[in-house]
């Protein structure tokens, strides 16, 4: 006799009036990721720079191409058609991107909280902060010498401030 794998009951999302519950879930999920220390951030930035340099060299991109994820990865085409070394560098760059986003979610929440007294729902502020964080990761140039968190703070604040109030 075969047993059927039946999934448990589906989780229910709170009603529209219970937005604070969604925000609480987000806080809990964001706290799972460890913040990067300064040496950890430097190591991750070096990995990112190295992977972007490999991609630029393999694809023979012009030397004046900026060292940002947005510019280098935007000039790729189909990632599946890349040579092996370039494909590994591409995956490493995406892993660095993911790690930078996850490790700075708390920063995004912190900045969103600073603007919570302006009458905008917290869930909207967090969403704007996350958009700013993603833009910061895409535009970050580790070669300039600034820490990512310093650059991200500015980008996130600009995105949250841009919201019409």
For 31-80, the pLDDT digits (tens) are: 899 989 989 998 998 898 888 888 888 877 777 767 788 877 776 665 55
For 70-123, the pLDDT digits (tens) are: 877 776 665 556 678 888 888 899 999 999 999 999 999 999 988 887 788 888
Residue 11 lies in a domain: no
Q: What is the pLDDT of residue 122?
A: 87
pTM recorded for the entire structure: 0.78
Residue 22 lies in a domain: no
The mean pLDDT value for 138-147 works out to: 84
Supply the CATH number for residue 111's domain.
Answer: 1.20.120.1810
Question: Does the pLDDT of residue 17 top 70, yes or no?
Answer: no
Cα–Cα distance measured from residue 135 to residue 11, given in angstroms and rounded to the nearest whole number: 31
Residue 16 lies in a domain: no
Residue 28 lies in a domain: no
Q: In total, how many domains does the chain have? A: 1
CB 164: neighbour CB atoms within 10 A? 4
Please report, for residues 31, 97, 108, 112, 133, the alpha-carbon distance to residue 18 in angstroms, rounded to integers and kept in the order given.
Answer: 21, 32, 22, 19, 26
Residue 146 lies in a domain: yes
Residue 29 lies in a domain: no
Residue 15 lies in a domain: no
**Nearest-CA neighbor of 134 among 148, 115, 118, 119?**
148
Residue 127 lies in a domain: yes
CB burial string 49-87: b at 16+ within 10 A, e below:
bebbebbbebeeeeeeeebbbebbbeebeeeeebeeebb
Structural domain of 147: 36-162
């Amino acid at each position: 006799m075969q047993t059927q794998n039946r999934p448990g009951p589906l989780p229910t999302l709170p009603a529209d009036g219970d937005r604070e519950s969604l925000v609480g879930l987000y806080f809990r999920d964001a706290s799972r990721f460890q913040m990067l220390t300064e040496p950890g951030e430097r190591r991750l930035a070096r990995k990112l720079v190295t992977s972007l340099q490999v991609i630029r060299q393999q694809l023979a991109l012009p030397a004046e191409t900026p060292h940002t994820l947005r510019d280098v990865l935007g000039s790729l085409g189909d990632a599946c058609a890349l040579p092996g070394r370039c494909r590994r560098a591409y995956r490493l760059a995406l892993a660095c991107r993911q790690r930078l986003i996850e490790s700075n979610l708390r920063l995004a929440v912190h900045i969103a909280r600073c603007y919570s007294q302006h009458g905008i729902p917290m869930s909207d502020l967090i969403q704007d902060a996350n958009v700013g964080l993603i833009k910061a990761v895409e535009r970050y140039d580790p070669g300039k010498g600034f820490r990512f968190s310093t650059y991200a703070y500015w980008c996130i604040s600009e995105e949250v401030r841009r919201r019409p109030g």
